[in-house]
Amino acid sequence: MALVQQSSPHAHRARPTSRVMLWVIIAAVPGLLAQTVFFGWGNLINVVWCIALALATEAAILKWRSKPVGFFLKDNTAAVTGLLLGLSLPQFAPWWVSAVAVFSAIVVAKQLYGGLGSNPFNPAMVGYALVLISFPLAMTTNWAAPVGLWQDAPGFGETLSAIASGQQTAVDGWTMATPLDEYKHKVGSHTAAEITIHPTFGNFVARGWEWVNAAFLAGGLVLLALRIISWHIPVGFLGGLVAMSLLFGTNADQYAPLSLHLLAGGTMLGAFFIATDPVSAATSHQGKLIYAVGIGALVYLIRSWGNYPDAVAFSVLLMNFAVPFIDYYTPPRTYGHHKARRGLPTRKQG
């Protein structure tokens, strides 16, 4: 028997990309469950639909690009993209909105840039931002009301048919403005007490949303514990958001309070599952911190002074733009060196 000839190291940790991505999917399950419990079947249906669509699209384009379809499909990255879109889109978003989002995420944002590892932008957020701008009505009016506030709550079948019908807007009684949206529209003209009297805020911070965010936080902590993500991006994201909130918006009558920023909208999903996409994030620890603080700050800026109630997608994409710039200035200091070598190699004279 001929002896294997191989360069070192000979030992390898058995945690391939597919397993990493699988862990991301598993860690998102609590959040998905919370969404389902508090907002009905919409997210679950969206997740299944988006994942199926993402895998199919990925397979088609891989085939078109003459790449090994099975090899790349098994890395689970397309499934994660589908999952993230399913978790982010409004519960009653019509099927074609999801389809456009998934298509632009997989085909445009990922494969046209060279596939896995080569995309400068977070694919799921490219898809999300595209449909948010293209279909504002479908993307703003289809947010499900928290379960307790539904009149004539829809079952699984009704939700599925609502999504599959392709109607721009779902039944009025099933949907409700999100807490961030509600606050944004009333702040300034109403006091905090007057705003939060709206049922969407519930008894605590934001009915349903607070639990969804808590569940995503829990899932994110699992990823941290497994060292699948490093602490830099979630901490930077939340830190940037908190810092901005403390700096500008301590007065709840004028700005949404910190608790709402942290526990409403896509904050935790963004901090632990979206901004942590390694491909489009900064490289070094320092770079990741800067990148994530930037996202957190932009989220606050857009939520407070922009046109959109939530802002994770835009913030992530904007900071994706900045990644090469951040990487340029934030290489770590290597052992045995006095300081880090920033920038690009300077050409030697002559």
Q: Which is nearer to another protein, 132 or 281 (CB)?
A: 281
Query: 77-88 and 123-134 are packed helices; what angle lies between their axes, rounded to 10 degrees?
Result: 30
Q: Does residue 148 belong to the site contacting another protein (CB under 8 A)?
A: no
From 10, 155, 251, 349, residue interacting with another protein (rule: CB under 8 A)? 10
Q: Which element (helix H / strand E) includes 78? A: helix 77-88
From 152, 193, 307, 335, residue interacting with another protein (rule: CB under 8 A)? 335
Biggest CA-to-CA distance, the chain? 82
**Residues of this chain, 58-97, that bind another protein according to CB under 8 A:** 71, 75, 77
The binding track of 263-302 with respect to another protein, each residue x by CB under 8 A or -, is ---------------xx-x-xxx--x--------------
How is residue 167 written in tokens? 């109607």
Can you tell me whether residue 144 is helix, strand or coil?
strand
Query: If you count them, how many residues does the chain have?
Result: 350
Residue 118, number of CB atoms within 10 A of its CB:
11
**Residues of this chain, 295-334, that bind another protein according to CB under 8 A:** 327, 331-334
Alpha carbons 214 and 230: distance in angstroms, whole number? 19
DSSP state of 338: S
CB of 142 to another protein, least distance (A): 32
Q: Which is nearer to another protein, 156 or 325 (CB)?
A: 325
Give me the residues paired with residue 163 across strands.
none
Alpha carbons 238 and 295: distance in angstroms, whole number? 9
Alpha carbons 60 and 192: distance in angstroms, whole number? 51
The binding track of 101-130 with respect to another protein, each residue x by CB under 8 A or -, is --------------xxxx------------
From 151, 155, 307, 337, residue interacting with another protein (rule: CB under 8 A)? 337
What are the residues binding another protein (CB under 8 A)?
1, 3-13, 15-17, 19-20, 71, 75, 77, 115-118, 227, 230, 278-279, 281, 283-285, 288, 327, 331-337, 341, 344-345
